[in-house]
Chain A
């Protein structure tokens, strides 16, 4: 299962400067594990020491935040687009 993972500017230096990675995995957890295996510098950035998502990181599958789906167990399918975005202050509407 191959999915495209879009990285935010702030994480690109940890992935050889790439903006989009092609990664294997059938859940978000597996996708992150295979990303980290290739680019160990991403490790502490995306996942915290206790194995949870870093609180300042949001991961989206086709624009849906995985925290409100099945978190790291969220299934991904071929062709899905994964985005990793930093949590930032929303524009006070």
Chain B
């Protein structure tokens, strides 16, 4: 089908591409699900639509009623996706955005008419979450969807992304994805394990705790409420850090297959390679990974074009995940 009545109908149903040419082990296949194909450009389109539709179903948002305001902390993609959905549905969106995100992420929010409220870059996403919670408490008339605590976030992946992966690749043995809000890992991980309990779920994260230097003490730390509430520790089988240099190296390497993806997707591919290396000789495996978005939003970081050490230093200062 190539005719759609709304851009919102284009969300989901993303393709998967064979990236086994990058696998270090000929018995380990690697498939990449291209979430950059979503209309606002990332996996977060699914979440944004899920959050808004859940709020509408609960009567928290009323379609067509003027003057409704939403607030959400986001380092980029959720904000961009929500901005598109809100623009189409007539809601006013305020995004609490750390100052250290790429310029394109900021511009895309403006494209879709979102209002940006800045939070200190030194506090990373923690700072954005903190400020959004504070503002939401001060303005109870605003709708705070709060993706870190809203089950509609993992549910979008439980009902869509997971079933799509299972339908396209039932031979999957490992699912490797990035850990941010934990929505993708919780939703897809739970769905896949229900189909086949032997499937292993790997979480990939950047060394955020090293890069965020605005933390005053450990009790300022943060675990997404959905992760604790929905048994994240039971769903994950492994959690591993991928550093900026490896992330950028793999982001570049993926272009050999024509895959022009964002830096977090490079990090996740590096994690998939690490996963492939753990498969014992003589055994075979099929890894499915997520490319969260395409590379367009990161061109200004020089990720593909500048000296790698310079890019790595830059990457340590911006939120790319």
Contacts and interface: CB of A to CB of B under 8 A. Distances in A.
A56 to B, nearest CB: 3
Given A56-B218, A68-B236, A93-B42, A8 B180 contact: no
B125 A87 contact: no
Nearest to A56: B221
A27 interface: no
Interface in B160-219: 178-182, 184, 205-210, 212-213, 215-219
Interface stretch (B1-9, B21-29, B85-93, B238-246): B238-246
Interface string B281-303: 00000000000110000000000
Contacts of B179: 90
Contacts of B241: 60, 63-65, 83, 85
A88 B212 contact: yes
Nearest to B127: A89
A90 B224 contact: yes
B47 to A, nearest CB: 9
B78 interface: yes
A45 B220 CA distance: 12
Given A10-B215, A56-B218, A85-B210, A90 B205 contact: yes
Interface residues of B, number: 56
B151 interface: no
Contacts of B218: 10-11, 45, 54, 56-57, 86
Interface in A60-78: 60, 63-65, 67-68
Contact of A85 (B42, B180, B209): B209
A14 B294 CA distance: 42
Nearest to A66: B239
Contacts of A51: none
Contacts of A89: 124-126, 128-129, 148, 208, 222, 224
B250 interface: no
B154 interface: no
A68 to B, nearest CB: 5
B236 A10 contact: no
Contact of B125 (A9, A45, A68, A90): A90
A88 B233 contact: no
Nearest to B246: A63
Interface of B: 42-44, 73-79, 124-126, 128-129, 147-148, 178-182, 184, 205-210, 212-213, 215-224, 233, 236-243, 264, 292-293, 319-321
**Which 6 A-B pairs have CB atoms at the shortest separation, nearest pair first?**
A56-B221, A85-B209, A90-B180, A65-B239, A91-B75, A89-B125
Given A88-B212, A89-B222, 14 more contacts: A9-B215, A54-B218, A58-B209, A58-B239, A63-B243, A64-B238, A64-B239, A68-B237, A88-B125, A88-B222, A90-B179, A91-B180, A93-B78, A93-B264
